[in-house]
Amino acid sequence: MPIPIPIPIPSMPMLEPSHPNPTHNKIQKQAAYNKKTKDQRPPAQQKKAKQKQD
C-alpha cells in the first residue's frame, strides 16, 4: 500500500462520507483500515510479550 501519508484528521470518517476528491477518499479508507489493524495488533503483541516474559 503506497500511502504512507500521516493523516491530520483524528477520527472523523463520517464528517465527509463522499469527498469530491477521490484521493482524499482513498486516504480516509486507508486511515480507517490502519485504525482497524492498529486496534487489532496491540493485544496480539501484548500476548507475545507476556509469553516471552514467562
Residue 11: partners with Cβ closer than 8 Å, 6 or more residues away: 35
| pLDDT of amino acid 36 | 72
Task: Enter the pTM of the model.
Answer: 0.29
Q: In a 3-state reduction of DSSP, which class is residue 17? A: coil
Q: What is the pLDDT of residue 18?
A: 55
Q: What share of the chain is helix, strand, coil (3-state, %, to 5)?
A: 60, 0, 40
CA distance 52 to 7: 34
Q: What is the pLDDT of residues 1-53, one digit of tens each?
A: 566 767 665 655 555 555 566 666 677 777 887 777 666 555 555 556 566 65
Neighbours of 51 (CB within 10 A): 8
